Amino acid sequence: MRWAIYQDAASSHILIENNVCYHVDSEPFYQHFGQKNIVRNNIFAFGAEGQAAIGKPEAHPAFTFERNILITDGRALFVVYPRI
């Protein structure tokens, strides 16, 4: 599995709460683009490329990230794509 939670194109105003996501091929949480999502009280752990990612940064807030636990074995906590 590439991601555990994937917010697809323009996902907005969604609450993502109280999940445990771990051991995925990329990041446990990934948001392609969107706005004003809330990501809280989750555990994201041991993603192969990072623990949380955004795929298309925009000028407005994509999500609020609060009270989450991120566990890593040396991989990045946050990843912003596209990587240059």
Average per-residue pLDDT for the chain: 95
The pairing of beta strand 29-31 with beta strand 50-54: parallel
Full residue range of the structural domain in which residue 68 is found: 5-80
Please state, for a pLDDT cut of 90, what percent of the chain lies above it.
89
Q: How confident is the model at residue 1 (pLDDT cuts 50, 70, 90)?
A: confident
Strand, coil or helix: 65: strand
pLDDT at 51 over 90: yes
Total of domains in the chain: 1
> Average pLDDT for residues 12-32, to the nearest whole number?
97
Peptide bond into 82 cis (omega under 30): yes
Q: Which residues pair with 5 in a beta bridge?
A: 29
Q: How confident is the model at residue 84 (pLDDT cuts 50, 70, 90)?
A: low
Taking the complete model, does pTM exceed 0.75, yes or no? Answer: yes
